[in-house]
């Protein structure tokens, strides 16, 4: 086997951010180490349904950060807003976690 080509063990090491990064425009992941490249290729981590889920996660995450965090409501509605935020955070939390990006070049 070639040096460094192996499956990653996310229980023992940081896979995203160290071995694999996500392009914020295409939401495809790319490997920055031999292990990351192998992992992506063999597990087909850029399959259309996974890219679609990462795109959706990014959209929801951006909406949470950009819109809801600056939303102001009358005191009587604040509990409804907080409940909505908790629901959305839980929804996004069940999706693929954000994957760091660093341009290659």
Looking at the domain assignment, is residue 87 inside a domain?
yes
Quick one: pLDDT at residue 67?
64
How far is the CA of 102 from the CAs of 40, 61, 82, 86, in angstroms? 17, 19, 33, 30
Looking at the domain assignment, is residue 15 inside a domain?
yes
Looking at the domain assignment, is residue 105 inside a domain?
no
Both structure tokens of 85:
């935020």
Domain holding 20, by residue range, is 1-45
**pLDDT over threshold 80, residue 2:** no
CA atoms within 13 A on the CB side of 44: 4
What value does the mean pLDDT take over residues 50-54? Answer: 92
Query: CB neighbours of 35 closer than 8 A, spacing ≥ 6?
Result: 4, 5, 6, 7, 8, 19
Question: Do 73 and 56 share a structural domain?
Answer: yes
**Could you tell me the pLDDT band of residue 27, with boundaries at 50, 70 and 90?**
very high
User: How much is the pTM?
Assistant: 0.64
Question: Do 84 and 51 share a structural domain?
Answer: yes
Looking at the domain assignment, is residue 104 inside a domain?
no
Confirm if 8 and 39 have CB atoms less than 8 A apart.
yes
Question: Do 51 and 38 share a structural domain?
Answer: no
Question: Do 38 and 12 share a structural domain?
Answer: yes
Return d(Cα 70, Cα 64) in angstroms, integer. Answer: 9
Quote the number of domains for the chain.
Answer: 2
Select from 50, 18, 12 the least CA-distant residue to 32. 18
Question: Do 56 and 15 share a structural domain?
Answer: no
**pLDDT over threshold 90, residue 89:** no
Question: Do 29 and 5 share a structural domain?
Answer: yes
């Amino acid at each position: 086997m070639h040096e460094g080509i192996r499956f990653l063990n996310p229980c023992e090491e940081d896979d995203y951010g160290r071995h694999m990064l996500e392009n914020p425009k295409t939401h495809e992941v790319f490997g920055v180490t031999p292990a990351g490249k192998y992992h992506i290729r063999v597990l087909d981590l850029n399959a259309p349904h996974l890219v679609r889920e990462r795109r959706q996660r990014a959209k929801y995450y951006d909406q949470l950060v950009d819109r809801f965090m600056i939303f102001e409501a009358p005191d009587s509605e604040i509990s409804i807003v907080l409940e909505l935020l908790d629901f959305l955070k839980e929804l996004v939390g069940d999706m693929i976690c954000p994957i760091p990006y660093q341009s290659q070049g």
